[in-house]
């Protein structure tokens, strides 16, 4: 199914999509979203309302569409280790292969990160038998650097279970994060092996600091990390962008190293309709774009979201101009 699209409008309307990871492969734009399903179950902080079970891949030859839906690329029934909740995915290209990274609950209810492969950017993707050893939580984002080293960024609070991993071991009954005056929980990063199927290094926590080099604290909900990490590079800086969760912003921090520490810089996207906010940033035909989602198509139903995009602009000093998603240009 195809349709022409415009900025700040849903890129598809025949299904609900969220958590878009956008990439350019061979001059074409591919979007790897999650797929929201309608249901009448509970809506809570554990994320039970997000019952996604499969993935579609979308593509665009130009930024104004049309958008092509390449149908189902992977389903939870095809993943031996996974039980449910195929949440926000990502994709990468290396070694002549397309890699698809996705979170799901294992058969014990613990979120893990899996990987599947294909010779096509649209799939179908064949999953590995087991999840990536040492992986946990949600929202994988994979960045292949100019030196061909690849890194996996991941982690989310609340339903993403990151609080339960504060000791490095899964503690199912832990619900609380650090005290409000203590350093906030940060996303995790692990370098990937050459074959992109395992972690080369143990996951480590990324430090996000203020302009004085002091860690952002847990009570600073306008700046602290919540979920949805994304990495892109601009003018030799690595930009870590992420959702703040409770304050519903997409914000960013920068570093000279892909593993940080990252210095907080500001807000990219003001709050959208709906509770979650999740994004990606991509350069396409010499312009930069922010892909994101909101719930405008469903009149605010949190588990019925739609992917949108808008152009992103940098200032001369490398800072990013804040976007109001509903401001008429």
Contacts of 258 (CB under 8 A, 6+ apart): 143, 145, 149, 151, 189, 231, 238
Strand pairing partners for 255? Answer: 238
H-run or E-run covering 72: strand 67-75
Q: Which two tokens stand for residue 1?
A: 């199914």
Catalytic residue chosen out of the listed positions 19, 36, 68, 90: 19
Q: Are 184 and 216 in contact (CB under 8 A)?
A: yes
- How many CB atoms are located within 10 Å of the residue 33 CB? 29
CA gap 171, 178 in Å, rounded = 15
CA gap 140, 133 in Å, rounded = 14
What is the CB-side half-sphere exposure of residue 200 using CA atoms within 13 A? 10
CA gap 297, 250 in Å, rounded = 20
CA gap 126, 117 in Å, rounded = 5
In the block, which residue shows the tokens 């199912």?
A: 172
Length reported for the chain:
329
- How many CB atoms are located within 10 Å of the residue 176 CB? 8
19 is catalytic: yes
- The SS3 call for residue 256 is coil
In the block, which residue shows the tokens 């922010």?
A: 290
Q: Are 179 and 166 in contact (CB under 8 A)?
A: no
227 is catalytic: yes
Catalytic residue chosen out of the listed positions 69, 139, 205, 227: 227
- How many CB atoms are located within 10 Å of the residue 101 CB? 26
Residue positions annotated with a catalytic role? 19, 227
């Amino acid at each position: 199914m195809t349709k022409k699209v415009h900025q700040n409008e849903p890129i598809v309307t025949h299904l609900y999509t969220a958590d878009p990871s956008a990439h350019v492969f061979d001059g074409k734009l591919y979007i790897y979203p999650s797929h929201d399903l309608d249901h009448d179950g509970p809506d809570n902080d554990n994320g039970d309302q997000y019952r996604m079970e499969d993935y579609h891949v979308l593509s665009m030859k130009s930024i104004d569409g049309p958008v092509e839906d390449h149908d189902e690329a992977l389903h939870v029934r095809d993943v031996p280790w996974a039980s449910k909740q195929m949440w926000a995915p990502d994709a990468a290209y290396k070694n002549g292969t397309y890699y698809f990274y996705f979170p799901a609950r294992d058969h014990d209810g613990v979120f893990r990160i899996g990987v599947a492969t294909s010779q096509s950017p649209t799939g179908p993707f064949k999953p590995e038998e087991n999840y990536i050893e040492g992986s946990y939580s949600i929202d994988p984002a994979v960045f292949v650097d100019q030196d061909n080293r690849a890194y996996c960024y991941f982690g989310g609070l609340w339903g993403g279970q990151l609080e339960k991993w504060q000791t490095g071991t899964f503690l199912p009954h832990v619900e609380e994060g650090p005290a409000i005056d203590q350093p906030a929980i940060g996303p995790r990063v692990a370098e990937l092996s050459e074959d992109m199927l395992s972690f080369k290094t143990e996951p480590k926590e990324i430090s996000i600091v203020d302009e004085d080099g002091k860690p952002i604290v847990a009570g600073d909900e306008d700046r602290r990390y919540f979920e949805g990490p994304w990495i892109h590079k601009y003018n030799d800086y690595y930009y870590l962008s992420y959702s703040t969760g409770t304050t519903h912003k997409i914000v960013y921090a920068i570093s000279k190293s892909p593993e940080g520490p990252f210095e907080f810089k500001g807000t990219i996207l003001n709050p959208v309709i709906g509770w979650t906010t999740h994004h990606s940033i991509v350069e396409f035909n010499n312009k930069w774009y922010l892909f994101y989602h909101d719930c405008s198509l469903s009149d605010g139903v949190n588990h019925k979201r739609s992917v949108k995009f808008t152009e992103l602009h940098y200032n001369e000093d490398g800072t990013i101009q804040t976007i109001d998603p509903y401001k008429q240009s």
